[in-house]
């Protein structure tokens, strides 16, 4: 899943990015509001972490413009302010959540996971598809009650497909949401990782869950 972080404190931005990256997220970073608005409008992201106090354009103005253009991307506001009126203004502008600095990264991570579940109508931390269980908090995966060991990239691909279970996801969708910008769109990297997943998720089971939709992409669903 891809997160846009708009934060002008570069040391803090680096720490947050590292934390999200270690959890398997792809993170794009902007250090001022204007750059953040541009990236939010022109690149696909699953959630935005947006500081209020930004140079060039403040976070509330960025959020206001995004919502005015119809963006429904979940947004968490970050700010050093803790005044009730600031929180109310942020939420009334269209924020989905609000976190006051300083904060514990694990709380930010939990809030991001909650927003992603809300966005995809997944209500629980554990996603179940057939006899596969995917714990989005611990990143533990099992099938038929037996643990499945996945690499970080394999897990990211499975989780993205799980959030969109029953939907076709194209190769372009997958590259945009779980790979970094340097990934060659013309390479077969997606097909390679789909095959890795199939070996670990489907190979030893009669019922297959990962399906190829010819000419369109892939789908995760029960047959």
CATH number at residue 105: 3.40.50.2300
Q: What angle do CA 93, 79, 21 make, to 5 degrees?
A: 100
Identify whether residues 194 and 212 lie together within a single domain: yes
Question: What is the C-alpha separation between 100 and 98, in angstroms, rounded?
Answer: 7
Of 85, 119, 153, which marks where a domain is finished? 119
* Confidence (pTM): 0.82
pLDDT in tens, 155-204: 999 999 999 999 999 988 898 888 766 555 556 889 999 999 999 999 99
Structure token digits, residue 148: 């499945």
10-58 per-position pLDDT tens digit: 999 999 999 999 988 999 999 999 999 999 999 989 999 999 999 999 9
Which H or E element spans position 61? Answer: helix 59-68
Q: Which of 41, 63, 69, 40 is nearest to 51 (CA)?
A: 63
Domain that holds residue 91: 2-119
Q: Are both 108 and 168 inside the same structural domain?
A: no
* Residue 15 CB neighbours (<10 A): 13
Tokens found for residue 223: 């047959």
Do 93 and 153 belong to one domain? no
Query: What is each CA distance from 196 to 40, 136, 199, 202, in whole angstroms?
Result: 32, 20, 5, 10
Same structural domain, 156 and 64: no
Query: Are 207 and 144 within one domain?
Result: yes
> Do both 12 and 109 map to the same domain?
yes
Considering the domain architecture, whether residues 94 and 134 belong to the same structural domain is answered as no
Half-sphere exposure of 35 (CA within 13 A, CB side): 13
Q: Which of 84, 119, 154 is the last residue of a domain?
A: 119
Among candidate residues 119, 137, 169, the one where a domain is terminated: 119
CA distance 119 to 27: 18
Residue 199 in contact with residue 183, Cβ under 8 Å? no
Same domain assignment for residues 149 and 67: no
pLDDT digits (tens, 9 = 90+) for 87-146: 788 889 999 999 998 899 999 999 999 998 887 777 678 999 999 999 998 999 999 999
Q: What is the domain count for the chain? A: 2
Do 54 and 144 fall within a single domain? no
């Amino acid at each position: 899943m891809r997160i846009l972080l708009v934060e002008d404190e570069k040391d803090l931005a680096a720490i947050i990015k590292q934390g999200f990256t270690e959890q398997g997220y792809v993170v794009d970073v902007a250090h001022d509001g204007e750059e953040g608005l541009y990236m939010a409008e022109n690149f696909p992201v699953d959630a935005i972490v947006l500081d209020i106090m930004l140079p060039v354009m403040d976070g509330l103005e960025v959020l206001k413009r995004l919502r005015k253009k119809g963006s429904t991307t979940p947004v968490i506001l970050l700010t050093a302010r803790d005044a009730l009126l600031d929180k109310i203004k942020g939420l009334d502008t269209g924020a989905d959540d609000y976190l006051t600095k300083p904060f514990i990264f694990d709380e930010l991570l939990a809030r991001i996971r909650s927003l992603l579940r809300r966005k995809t109508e997944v209500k629980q931390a554990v996603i179940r598809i057939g006899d596969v269980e995917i714990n989005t908090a611990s990143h533990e995966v099992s099938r038929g009650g037996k643990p499945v060991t996945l690499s970080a990239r394999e897990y990211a691909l499975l989780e993205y497909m799980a959030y969109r279970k029953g939907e076709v996801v194209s190769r372009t969708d997958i590259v945009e949401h779980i790979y970094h910008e340097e990934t060659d769109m013309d390479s077969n990297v997606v097909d390679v990782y789909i095959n890795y997943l199939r070996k670990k998720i489907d190979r030893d089971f009669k019922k297959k869950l990962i399906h190829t939709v010819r000419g369109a992409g892939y789908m995760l669903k029960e047959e």
